[in-house]
Chains A and B, each alone.
Chain A
Amino acid sequence: MDRRKFLNLSVFAMVAVPASLSAIDFRETKPDTWTAKTVEDSIKALYGDVKLEESGVKVKAPTVAANGGAVPVSVKSDIPAKTVALFQDANPEAAVAVFSVAEGGIVDYSLKIKMKSTGKITAILEGTDGKFYMGYQSLEVAKGGCEG
Chain B
Amino acid sequence: MSKNMKIKAKLKKGIVNVKVMAKHDMLTYDQAKKKGTKANFITHISATCNGKVVYDVSTSQFWSKNPQFKFDFKDGAKGDKVEITWTDLLKNTVTESKKIR
A16 to B73, CA, bound (A): 18
Residue contact B85 to A18, C-beta cutoff 8 Å: no
Residue contact B59 to A114, C-beta cutoff 8 Å: no
Q: How many residues of B contact A (CB 8 A)?
A: 42
A69 to B27, CA, bound (A): 12
Q: Which residues of B contact A109 (CB under 8 A)?
A: 57, 69-71
Residue contact A20 to B95, C-beta cutoff 8 Å: no
Residue contact A106 to B46, C-beta cutoff 8 Å: no
Residue contact A92 to B63, C-beta cutoff 8 Å: no
Q: Which residues of B contact A92 (CB under 8 A)?
A: 29-30
Residue contact A106 to B56, C-beta cutoff 8 Å: no
Residue contact B30 to A19, C-beta cutoff 8 Å: no
Residue contact B64 to A16, C-beta cutoff 8 Å: no
Shortest beta-carbon distance from A75 to chain B in Å: 10
Residue contact B64 to A22, C-beta cutoff 8 Å: no
Q: Which residues of A contact B61 (CB under 8 A)?
A: 93, 114
Main secondary structure of the interface of B (DSSP, over half): strand
A127 to B73, CA, bound (A): 18
Question: Interface 1/0s, chain A 91-111, versus B by CB < 8 A?
Answer: 111011111101011101111
A10 and B95 in contact (CB under 8 A), knowing A19-B48, A69-B65, A106-B72? yes
A19's nearest neighbour on chain B, judged by CB, is B48
Shortest beta-carbon distance from A87 to chain B in Å: 9
A16 to B84, CA, bound (A): 11
User: Any chain B CB within 8 A of the CB of A25?
Assistant: yes
Interface residue ranges, B against A (CB under 8 Å): 15, 26-31, 34-35, 43-44, 46, 48, 51-65, 67-74, 83, 85, 87, 91, 93, 95
Interface CB pairs A-B, < 8 A, 20: A8-B87, A8-B91, A16-B51, A16-B95, A23-B46, A24-B56, A24-B58, A25-B58, A27-B44, A69-B64, A70-B65, A88-B62, A92-B29, A96-B59, A108-B71, A110-B70, A112-B67, A113-B64, A145-B64, A147-B31
Interface residue ranges, A against B (CB under 8 Å): 8-10, 12-13, 16, 18-20, 22-27, 34, 69-71, 74, 88, 91-93, 95-100, 102, 104-106, 108-115, 145-148
